Amino acid sequence: MTPVFVVDLCSVFSRNRAHKIASRSVKVLYSESQAPHHAIGVFLNPSIVVSKPSVRAACLLLLLVVAGCDRSVQVHPRIELTSVPRLHRGGTQDFDVISGRVIGANSEQRVVLYARSGAWYVQPYADQPFTRINPDSTFNSSTHLGTEYAALLVDPGYAPPSVTLSLPTLGDGVRAVVVKEGRPPFWRTWWFGVFLSLIVLAVLLSFYRWRLHEVSKQLNLRFEARLAERTRIAQDLHDTLLQGFVSASMQLHVANDHLANDSPAKPMVGRVMQLMAQVIEEGRDAVRGLRSTSGNADDLETAFSRIGQEFGNEEVKDYRIIVEGTPRQLHPLIRDEAYRIGREALVNAFHHAQASKIEVELDYANKHLRILVRDNGSGIDAAVLQSGRDGHWGLAGMRERAESIGARLKVWSRVQAGTEVELFIPGKVAFVSKERK
């Protein structure tokens, strides 16, 4: 079988190198056994070969196809600006380089450049309005500075205006137009805005951390001052009032010993002695509460354990303390106030809740200390929870103590559904910082 060679006619004969023909591909088969100029045309189906007597008709068909390819391909030229000078209001003799490229232009077309400074001025000079297109379809030229820059692809013979308020439009020799704003200064670029935003964010974060440190330092100073004042008051109470009660109690005991057993005053003196003993014991408890304790990390756990031993009764079958996280050293004043709030909640649970199960949860987190006291007792009436009970200051005192140390106290309770008391103390307030250590 004689070999054949297939050639795309449009790519050979089309002057514009057309690559899009609407599905009509005409192929020519050259037979080695025939004359090189005898073409056999095949239209749409290459398997159908036109016989030799039809060579003239085939050639005519080829000419029509080639002419159709030339007419059907219409390339619209385009122009682009790849680099423009910086944005400037103009009016100076400063120059910079502008560059770009054209697509689909012929060798006779040229580029006209404009820079805007109020009006549009042809570049680089009025007597040199045209810029040559390089063989690789790029162009570059010097230009005066302006706010915007424009490039026009024009036909031979086009006469551009040297100054104009509005750019020429397509038509009348203008084949393509592109306009681009001047390159903005660095402080108007997007990356500078992002950089500036990051700096502002870093400054605000630094200021926040500094302010937090200052507030924490002021709180520490206030806590230490209050602790010193409480220690002084405890010493004064112990040395004056408490010692006076102890002396009076001793004298009363001596007087009671001199009374006859059948004396009508003896029962009354005995009751007074019991009352004074109770007052002395409560005074000692108050003095111990005012004094600061040692800074062991497990003070709260140990102290709450002693409360269970002190107030435990037959109704409470299950009393437990749950510690979550690693215990950390607390500020003495915070520790004492937290203990007093927790103690008040536990006293209410042991004495009034009629509960069989009481739990104390200590949560040492990085950013907070949380103390939760819960029971399954009779609960608290909503009215009492809101405004308190007449003559009793337990809930009100707990709230006041929590507010005084910057903590948050929440109480949840319903009748016959138990009670939960939560004390939430921020870590910056509760824990001793490493610097302070």
pLDDT in tens, 291-346: 645 444 447 888 888 888 877 777 888 899 999 998 888 887 788 889 889 988 99
Mark residue 79 as left, alpha or beta (left: phi above 0; alpha: psi -120 to 50; beta: remaining).
beta
Is 200 inside a domain boundary? yes
Task: Report helix, strand or coil for 8.
Answer: strand
Angle between helical axes of 190-236 and 332-351 (0-180°, round to 10): 70
Answer whether residue 199 is part of any domain: yes
2 within some domain: no
Both structure tokens of 209: 């951390």
**Predicted local distance difference test score (pLDDT) of residue 7:** 36
pLDDT at 58: 62
184, 203, 218: which is the final residue of a domain? 184
3 in a domain, yes or no?
no
pLDDT at 266 over 60: yes
Phi, psi of 366 (to 5 degrees): -65, -35
**% the chain with pLDDT above 90:** 29
Burial grade of 279 (CB within 10 A; 0-12, 13-18, 19 or more): middle
Where do runs of H (alpha helix) occur along 291-422?
299-311, 332-351, 382-387, 394-404
Does position 230 have pLDDT exceeding 80, yes or no? no
- DSSP state for residue 379 in the 8-state scheme: -
pTM of the complete model: 0.44
Three-class SS of 56-114:
HHHHHHHHHHHHHHHHHCCCCCEEEEEECCEECCCCCCCEEEEEEEEECCCCCCEEEEE
Same domain membership, residue 321 and residue 247: no
The reported pLDDT for the residue numbered 396 is 82
| In a shared domain, residues 145 and 248 | no
Give the whole-angstrom CA distance, residue 343 versus residue 279: 19
Closest CA to 358 of 367, 349, 366: 349
Rounded Cα–Cα distance for residues 383 and 389 (Å): 9
Range of the structural domain that residue 221 is part of: 191-292
Percent of the residues in the chain that have a pLDDT greater than 70, as a whole number:
77
**Same domain for 249 and 136:** no
Listed in sequence order, the residues at least 6 apart from 118 whose beta carbon sits closer than 8 Å to its beta carbon are: 90
pLDDT attached to residue 289 = 63
Q: Is 282 in the same domain as 304? A: no
pLDDT at 59 over 80: no
E strands along 210-250, which residues? none
Who has greater pLDDT, 353 or 71? 353
Q: Provide the pLDDT for residue 16.
A: 41
Among candidate residues 72, 90, 116, the one where a domain is terminated: 72
In the predicted structure, residue 136 carries a pLDDT above the cut 90: yes
Q: Which amino acid is at 335?
A: R
Q: Answer yes or no: is 1 within a domain.
A: no
**Are residues 425 and 300 part of one domain?**
yes
Q: What is the mean pLDDT of residues 159-174?
A: 91
4 part of a folded domain? no
Tell me if 100 sits within 8 A of 84, measured CB to CB.
Answer: no
Residue 15 has pLDDT above 80, yes or no: no
Average pLDDT over the chain, rounded to an integer: 78
Number of domains in the chain: 4
224 and 286 assigned to the same domain:
yes
Tokens of 354: 């009629």
Same structural domain for residues 244 and 339? Answer: no
Going by pLDDT thresholds of 50, 70 and 90, the confidence category of residue 56 is low
Q: Inform me whether the pLDDT recorded for 436 exceeds 60.
A: no
Q: What is the CATH number of the domain that holds 422?
A: 3.30.565.10
Which has the closest alpha carbon to 119: 141, 147, 97, 96? 147
Average pLDDT over residues 418-423: 92
Q: Is the pLDDT of residue 437 over 60?
A: no
Given 72, 100, 121, the domain boundary residue is 72
Please indicate whether residue 397 or residue 207 has the higher confidence score (pLDDT). 207
* 218 and 309 part of one domain: no
The answer to whether residues 270 and 306 belong to one domain is no
Instruction: Provide the phi-psi class of 91: left if phi over 0, else alpha when psi is between -120 and 50, else beta.
Output: left
Q: Which long-range contacts (CB under 8 A, 24 or more apart) does 374-377 make?
A: 374/418, 374/419, 374/420, 374/421, 375/349, 375/418, 375/419, 376/418, 377/349, 377/352, 377/353, 377/418, 377/419
Tell me, yes or no, whether 363 and 373 share the same domain: yes
Residue 69 pLDDT more than 60? no
Is 220 within the bounds of a domain? yes
Q: Are residues 299 and 416 in the same domain?
A: yes
What is the average pLDDT across 223-236? 79
Same domain membership, residue 286 and residue 357? no
Task: Look up the CATH number of the domain holding residue 124.
Answer: 2.60.40
For the cut 60, the answer to whether the pLDDT of residue 215 exceeds it is: yes
Rounded Cα gap, residues 120 and 263, in angstroms: 124
pLDDT confidence bin for 140, thresholds 50/70/90:
very high
Residue 112 falls inside a structural domain: yes
Residue 62: per-residue pLDDT: 63
Q: Greater confidence, 37 or 235?
A: 235
Phi, psi of 225 (to 5 degrees): -65, -45
Residues ≥6 apart with Cβ < 8 Å to 226: 333
